[in-house]
Amino acid sequence: MKSTKSLCPECLATIDASILEENGKTILEKTCSKHGYFKDIYWSSSKQFKRFEKFLHDGYGISNPIGLDGNCPHSCGICSSHKTSTILANIDVTNRCNQVCPVCFANASASGYLYEPSLVQIRAMMQMLRNEKPVPCPAVQFAGGEPTMRDDIVQIVKMAHEFKFTQIQMATNGIKLAKSLALCKDLDAAGLHTVYLQFDGVTAEPYLINRGYNALPLKLKAVENCRMGGLTSVSLVPTLAKGVNDMQVGDIIRFAVKNMDTVKGINFQPISFAGRINKKERLEKRITIPDLFNLIEAQTNGAITADDFYPVPFVVPISHFVAAEEGLPNIEFTVHPHCGTGTYVYVENGKMIPITRFIDVEGLLEHIDDLAINGEKWLGKSLGNIKRMGSLISSLPKYIDTAKAPKSVDVKKLFIDVLKEGTGEATKEFHRHTLFIGAMHFMDLYNMDLERIKRCGVHYATPDGRIIPFCTYNTIHRVEVEKKFSTPLIKARAH
Ligand code: SF4
Ligand code: SF4
């Protein structure tokens, strides 16, 4: 049994919680002195929970904190106790939306107010993110509402480009992209790297339930316009819910494979519960990351299995290695291992081969970490850098099983080129043949684990100069922040 802190779903008080094993599942339970006992499924497989747990890494957080320590997560801002710097920052640019989804309570018409930060406020948020030390936030995502509702969205993307974010993303329902090829071209020219496309499934049904209409033709058109407009890094984002689209996981993967020239990844998001939901319904409807693994395995006939997936912090040794090579701190993916997961799948003649089947990824990453640790003593010495990289390149073939590797490409050479070139043509070549399949399970008030929150790397920047983890922003801070900076809808419409 492990102890942690959580929140009372009724009064939001920070309370003690326990994580324990029950019938092969990992459970979170907690008792509020005022509102009683709560229990939820944390991970539906204790075996996978333990496999992932060993990859926990504590990061160095940020050295110029904004918020005060001591009342986590309520007085959040970001504070010196936080263990991961901002890996991806969300900036909500509007709460207006051109869909009225039955499942959404966040849009302007439902909330009754308009939240739309000015360009000056957006600039200040970007500046705050780029000021983070020791590592400036490298990636920003514009979200909402629907970001394309703003006429100045292209200008906002350009601004992010000027701030030198290395990854600029936009989360969108795709409606405007489907309707305007010109907008896709303009966003591409402005420097947008990735379109995070809300994508519930490959038939009409999930859209009818989640969005109230059949949005599939629009999604297909949005992908097509992205392709034609040069936005060739689309990530499909299905919110997974039981009985809605959990039976379409395999079909969504196959759709992505067919569109790999434009669709580079899928980010499954098991549903989290907003507002009150009774225990029976919650336990029945909860999908956790191991459930997703089972769905993927069953619906791809075993082509991709649970063991092909690793948690986000699995790649921390690569950050150590790059930091040693460059002699500078590098962004570290030290989010909690039970938050998110991913794998790369190589596609050859339509056949999916997870890279874990032909690369000993655990051995290779251990070796990379060893080289990085040795690198500490070589830090800043160019001979050390050459030795480190040379050692990695010469040992790489040992970790690749060419008999099991795809035949259409020289995998060893490709990986060596990627290591030598960094983000050059070899990396593009790698992405041409591979699909990223990942998941992040955002928390709600029932399954909240503050140990995960403290390691969160997906943050929101707010107009009052704060940086707040995604899961606590959406559960406890959003309403207060938006109200502070919003206009009542009737007044806003009059302008
Ligand atoms: S969530 Fe992180 S930044 Fe916010 S109060 Fe807790 S430790 Fe500090
Ligand atoms: S957003 Fe939530 S699920 Fe994702 S890393 Fe942060 S705490 Fe974890």
Beta strands in 300-339 (DSSP E): 310-311
Nearest CA to ligand 2 atom 1: 470
176 CA to centre of ligand 2 in angstroms: 28
7 CA to centre of ligand 1 in angstroms: 14
pLDDT score recorded for residue 125: 98
Beta strands in 154-230 (DSSP E): 167-172, 194-198
pLDDT score recorded for residue 353: 95
321 close to 371: Cβ distance less than 8 angstroms: yes
88 CA to centre of ligand 1 in angstroms: 16
Q: What are phi and psi of 414, to 5 degrees?
A: -60, -45
Which of ligand 2's atoms lies nearest the C-alpha of 335? 5
- Among 75, 78, 86, residue to substitute to test ligand 1 (most atoms within 8 Å of Cβ): 78
Task: Check residue 259 and give left, alpha or beta (phi > 0: left; psi -120 to 50: alpha).
Answer: alpha
pLDDT score recorded for residue 109: 66
Local confidence pLDDT in tens for the 495 residues of the chain? 899 999 999 999 999 999 999 999 999 999 999 999 999 999 999 999 999 999 999 998 999 998 778 899 999 999 999 999 999 999 999 999 998 877 675 666 677 889 999 999 999 999 999 999 999 999 999 998 999 999 999 999 999 999 999 999 999 999 999 999 999 999 999 999 999 999 999 999 999 998 999 999 999 999 999 999 999 999 999 999 999 999 999 999 999 999 999 999 999 999 988 766 777 878 888 999 999 999 999 999 999 999 999 999 999 988 888 887 777 888 899 999 999 999 999 998 889 999 999 999 999 999 888 888 765 554 555 566 777 788 888 888 899 998 898 888 888 888 777 776 666 677 778 888 899 999 999 999 999 999 999 999 999 999 999 999 999 999 999 989 998 999 887 655 444
| Alpha helices (runs of H) in 312-448, residue ranges in sequence order | 316-326, 361-378, 382-395, 411-421, 425-433
Nearest CA to ligand 2 atom 6: 456
pLDDT score recorded for residue 468: 97
Give the separation between CA 237 and CA 234, rounded to whole angstroms.
9
38 close to 30: Cβ distance less than 8 angstroms: yes
- Among 82, 449, 462, residue to substitute to test ligand 1 (most atoms within 8 Å of Cβ): 82
Give the separation between CA 260 and CA 219, rounded to whole angstroms.
15
Collapsing DSSP states into helix, strand and coil, what is residue 393? helix
pLDDT score recorded for residue 375: 52
Give the separation between CA 365 and CA 318, rounded to whole angstroms.
7
Ligand nearest to the CA of 65: 1
pLDDT score recorded for residue 491: 54
pLDDT score recorded for residue 322: 80
- Which residues are paired to 75 by β-bridges? none
| Residue 470 beta carbon below 6 angstroms from any ligand 2 atom | yes
For strands 139-143 and 167-172, give the pairing.
parallel
pLDDT score recorded for residue 350: 86
pTM recorded for the entire structure: 0.94
78 CA to centre of ligand 1 in angstroms: 6
